Amino acid sequence: MKRNSRWWLAHGASALLAAVVLSSCVDEKIVYRDGPNFVAPPASAANFIGYSDEAAKKTVCGACHATQQAKWATTGHAKAWSTLEANAGKAALCEGCHTVSANGNAATGSVGWTATSDKRYHDVQCESCHGAGLTHVSGPARGQMLPSALAAKNLTNGCGECHSGTHHPFVEEWSKSRHATSYTRPVWNGATATAPLVPLGPNPGCQSCHIGQTILKAWGVNTNYVEKDKATKLADTPFGVTCIVCHDPHGSSNPNQLRFPVTSSDPEQNLCVKCHNRRGNPDFTGNRDTPHAAHGPLVFGTAGWWPPGVNFEETQSSHGAGKNPTLCATCHVQNYSVSDAGGKFQVQVVGHRFLPTPCVDGNKNPTDNQDCAITARSFKSCADASCHSHTEASARTALETAEADIEFLAATLQVMLNSPLVPASQKLPAAAGKVTSARGAAYNIALASSAGAAAHNPFLVKALLRASMVQVNKEYGVALPPGITPRMLAPYDTRVMPTRPLVVGGDSN
Ligand code: HEC
Ligand code: HEC
Ligand code: HEC
Ligand code: HEC
Ligand code: HEC
Ligand code: HEC
Ligand code: HEC
Ligand code: HEC
């Protein structure tokens, strides 16, 4: 491989522009092929080289980078031109995003397709993201062609240069989500602009979900990009959960180029649950016994403190696998168009604010301010979900009912925990290190109060609260509040199991 790199360096552009013959040789990343490489690009293309064979979708880059070429050829990017051509609304102004141009890379002005209208620049190719390639292919070396991992509304490179605007406002929506700012959390030592981030410092675990560079590394993406080694100071460019954290830019075997499937019930494999799974059960070894991103464990039915001997018979949410194959994405990533009262198209909502029940304006367009009454929220995601025949109104009522039940049970359990019969030594934080029922019950109250708990798994949450009441009663002798009978503490939603008693280790069965 070394020999070949030097060969390219020594022979430079002139050799490339002619028919090049090399002895074939393969290493783990790069393949050298025999045969002609490409015809010199027009000068006005500004060093963008595009396809060597447009009909066969062979990029010049792909002659050597065979892995990326093979993956990329399966993506929508590789057919962006034919998609545009097949559309009745096509016009010159459409073309910059469906071809190799200055969009997506650091170049500006007219380059590639927009400068030449040469079909070698059809589709969204390697150079769309990596920039002009002539210099690199004339003398390939490391440190060249680096793409950016950033995504922000006003950048002049990155996915957002094309994935923006009223028809596909991915970057606009994403910028408003907390995925865009996860790196600003106190997940390093010292939260000032110049204090060093500590990628492998005292809390390396934090960064593997909050800081883009560390997430990619944790997921085995060790390739080079502009910001790769710039996560050491806040003044540098640490980034959050950007487009390329969730999407593989070259394509993948999952739909929508996702790095991991959204359909998997394996918490290690489900894209969302790889991160939304920090602390779904209390950690009794220290004082960290509040939930932290327990969404995955809730939906999958493993979350919470299960009192000793408790064995719920059925804990998977009905919003979990089976009836809801796309799991989190069904509710949190919705795509629909918004029209005004006269039926005129306004904007495509692409679900990249990740809001399941957004506050919307009169046209159902999510508003910037997401603090609103439940009646001002859209429940479209529930009504669209294939699992059952909700209308928006019935879904909202179902959620309100579950929330009210959970709130009541959580408040009641809290009253029990406040009883002087529960010794202070059993509670936080003095009980650090001890597994006590008071700490477990407090964890369940926090879990029940976390945003979305009533949607993620109302059955499990109610069961946990009821089981905690029985346990606090049993262990500390705190009476059940007036009006509550043991029978009412049956573990599940009454809709599912009206009278079944709680299964508490040996006591009741
Ligand atoms: C030069 C413009 C451009 C850039 C830059 C660009 N895209 Fe795209 N992207 C498109 C177009 C156009 C399509 C639609 C292609 C089609 O369906 O014909 C698309 C489609 C997609 C799709 C749907 C894929 C599929 O296979 O159906 C995903 C996901 C995507 N892009 C992600 C990204 C990410 C992530 C980045 C940045 C790393 C990015 N894109 C950069 C223009 C671009
Ligand atoms: C700002 C960049 C940009 C411009 C300009 C642009 N497109 Fe696209 N186009 C995209 C992206 C990005 C996608 C992929 C979006 C997605 O998957 O939701 C896309 C997807 C499409 C699709 C696939 C179907 C769909 O809606 O997902 C069609 C058809 C299309 N564009 C036609 C057009 C036409 C016609 C024009 C001009 C009127 C145009 N595009 C202008 C970026 C652009
Ligand atoms: C949509 C944008 C996009 C497109 C299109 C794209 N890349 Fe990339 N490429 C990236 C990003 C971002 C990275 C870094 C992150 C990663 O590897 O997932 C990268 C990484 C790479 C690397 C790895 C560098 C290393 O350090 O090992 C190579 C090689 C590469 N791309 C070549 C290609 C080739 C060849 C094509 C076309 C067949 C292509 N890319 C198409 C965005 C893109
Ligand atoms: C003639 C073969 C050849 C062609 C054509 C070629 N590359 Fe490379 N590329 C290489 C070699 C060799 C390296 C250095 C790899 C190494 O040392 O590990 C490299 C490295 C890279 C890197 C990694 C840089 C880094 O610092 O890690 C990227 C990204 C890349 N190429 C993208 C492209 C893109 C995009 C194109 C098309 C414009 C392209 N390459 C065309 C041979 C080629
Ligand atoms: C397994 C992935 C993961 C790890 C590891 C992780 N977090 Fe988080 N963190 C998340 C997710 C996902 C959220 C979003 C939770 C939500 O919105 O309810 C979050 C939210 C937060 C928040 C915002 C809480 C709020 O509700 O406003 C802070 C602060 C935070 N994390 C700090 C940390 C610190 C400090 C560490 C290390 C001690 C850490 N995180 C480790 C995934 C993780
Ligand atoms: C937290 C993970 C995550 C991040 C970050 C993310 N996406 Fe996505 N994206 C998804 C998921 C999940 C889907 C598929 C939704 C589904 O299957 O219903 C998707 C779908 C898409 C699609 C195809 C949608 C369609 O309707 O055609 C495009 C294009 C896309 N994303 C672009 C982007 C861009 C651009 C960014 C950065 C601004 C980005 N995504 C950031 C998770 C993410
Ligand atoms: C790479 C890790 C990671 C992945 C993958 C991920 N998230 Fe997140 N998510 C986070 C972190 C970290 C936060 C919290 C950011 C903060 O407040 O610091 C967050 C926040 C959120 C929020 C709160 C959004 C807001 O703006 O209030 C939602 C909802 C969410 N994620 C849903 C999802 C869904 C759905 C998926 C899968 C399609 C997903 N996440 C994939 C790490 C991730
Ligand atoms: C049945 C629909 C549904 C499913 C499935 C679902 N969620 Fe939610 N999620 C909601 C609702 C409703 C809320 C509450 C939203 C609110 O209060 O603004 C929520 C809240 C959240 C929040 C807190 C957002 C915030 O504003 O702090 C996060 C993070 C989250 N969900 C992640 C996930 C993850 C990860 C999955 C998959 C394991 C998932 N959700 C599955 C409906 C759902």
Q: Is the pLDDT of residue 175 over 90?
A: yes
Angle (nearest 5°) at CA 90 between 89 and 94: 120
How far is residue 431's CA from residue 169's CA, in Å, rounded to a whole number?
49
Q: Please work out whether the CB of residue 288 comes within 6 Å of at least one atom of ligand 5.
A: no
pLDDT band at 193 (very low <50, low <70, confident <90, very high): low
Neighbouring residues of 38: CB distance < 8 A, sequence distance ≥ 6: 16, 17, 49, 52, 60
Neighbouring residues of 444: CB distance < 8 A, sequence distance ≥ 6: 304, 305, 413, 461, 464, 465, 468
Specify whether the CB–CB gap between 116 and 62 falls below 8 A: no
Name the residue with higher pLDDT: 281 or 235.
Answer: 281
Q: Is the pLDDT of residue 297 over 90?
A: yes
Type of residue numbered 268: E
Q: pLDDT by residue (tens digit) across 451-492?
A: 999 999 998 999 999 999 989 999 999 998 877 776 666 554
Instruction: Please report, rounded to a whole number, the percentage of residues in the chain having pLDDT higher than 70.
Output: 83
- Name the residue with the closest Cα to ligand 1, atom 34: 159
Mean pLDDT of 95-111: 97
Q: Is the pLDDT of residue 14 over 80?
A: no
Q: Scanning the structure block, which residue is given the tokens 């479209």?
A: 380
d(CA 327, ligand 3 centre) in Å: 29
Specify whether the CB–CB gap between 97 and 171 falls below 8 A: no
Q: Is the pLDDT of residue 8 over 70?
A: no
pLDDT band at 76 (very low <50, low <70, confident <90, very high): very high
According to the model, what pLDDT value does residue 387 have?
55
pLDDT band at 288 (very low <50, low <70, confident <90, very high): confident
Q: Is the pLDDT of residue 223 over 70?
A: yes
Q: Please work out whether the CB of residue 119 comes within 6 Å of at least one atom of ligand 5.
A: no
Atom of ligand 1 nearest to the CA of 249: 38
- Per-residue b/e over 447-482, b at no fewer than 16 CB within 10 Å? bbbbebbbbbbbbbbbbbbbbbbbbbbebbebebee
Q: Between the ranges 73-87, 181-195, 398-412, where is the mean pLDDT highest?
A: 73-87
Q: Please work out whether the CB of residue 213 comes within 6 Å of at least one atom of ligand 3.
A: no
Ligand located closest to 351 CA: 6
Residue among 64, 225, 226 to mutate when testing ligand 4 (max atoms within 8 A of CB):
64
According to the model, what pLDDT value does residue 483 have?
74
According to the model, what pLDDT value does residue 317 have?
79
Q: Is the pLDDT of residue 192 over 60?
A: no
Name the residue with higher pLDDT: 354 or 395.
Answer: 354
Q: Between the ranges 117-131, 188-202, 289-303, where is the mean pLDDT highest?
A: 117-131
Q: Is the pLDDT of residue 195 over 80?
A: no
Q: Is the pLDDT of residue 427 over 60?
A: yes
Atom of ligand 5 nearest to the CA of 205: 5
Tokens of 241: 């959960």
Mean pLDDT value across the chain:
84
- Least confidently predicted of 233-237, 241-245, 408-412, 416-420: 233-237
Pocket of ligand 4 (CB under 6 A): 5, 8, 30, 49, 60-61, 63-65, 126-127, 130, 133, 136-137, 140-145, 224
Atom of ligand 3 nearest to the CA of 248: 18
Neighbouring residues of 112: CB distance < 8 A, sequence distance ≥ 6: 45, 46, 48, 50, 99, 100, 101, 102, 121, 127
d(CA 163, ligand 2 centre) in Å: 8
According to the model, what pLDDT value does residue 482 have?
78
Question: How would you class 256 by CB atoms within 10 Å of its CB: exposed for 0-12, middle for 13-18, buried for 19 or more?
Answer: middle
Q: Is the pLDDT of residue 36 over 90?
A: no
Tokens of 348: 């495509």
d(CA 174, ligand 1 centre) in Å: 15
Q: Scanning the structure block, which residue is given the tokens 């990596």?
A: 130
- Name the residue with the closest Cα to ligand 4, atom 15: 142
According to the model, what pLDDT value does residue 235 have?
66
Name the residue with higher pLDDT: 280 or 385.
Answer: 280
What number of other Cβ atoms are within 10 A of residue 446's Cβ? 16
Angle (nearest 5°) at CA 458 between 455 and 460: 135
Q: Is the pLDDT of residue 284 over 90?
A: no
According to the model, what pLDDT value does residue 188 have?
53
Specify whether the CB–CB gap between 59 and 69 falls below 8 A: yes
pTM: 0.93
Mean pLDDT of 395-406: 93
Structure-derived torsion over alpha carbons of residues 214, 220, 225, 227, reported in degrees to the nearest 10: 0
According to the model, what pLDDT value does residue 229 have?
85
According to the model, what pLDDT value does residue 316 have?
77
Q: Please work out whether the CB of residue 277 comes within 6 Å of at least one atom of ligand 5.
A: yes
Closest CA to 274 of 221, 324, 215, 217: 215
Name the residue with higher pLDDT: 32 or 475.
Answer: 475
- Least confidently predicted of 83-87, 113-117, 384-388: 384-388
Atom of ligand 1 nearest to the CA of 256: 29
pLDDT band at 360 (very low <50, low <70, confident <90, very high): very high
Type of residue numbered 410: A
pLDDT band at 384 (very low <50, low <70, confident <90, very high): confident
Tokens of 332: 């949190």
How far is residue 300's CA from residue 123's CA, in Å, rounded to a whole number?
40
How far is residue 347's CA from residue 133's CA, in Å, rounded to a whole number?
35
According to the model, what pLDDT value does residue 164 have?
96
Q: pLDDT by residue (tens digit) across 53-67?
A: 999 999 999 999 999
Residue among 206, 241, 246, 285 to mutate when testing ligand 5 (max atoms within 8 A of CB):
206
Specify whether the CB–CB gap between 188 and 197 falls below 8 A: yes
CA distances from 266 to 277, 316, 425 (A): 12, 13, 38
Can you say how many angstroms the Cα of residue 17 is from the centroid of all Cα atoms in its chain? 43
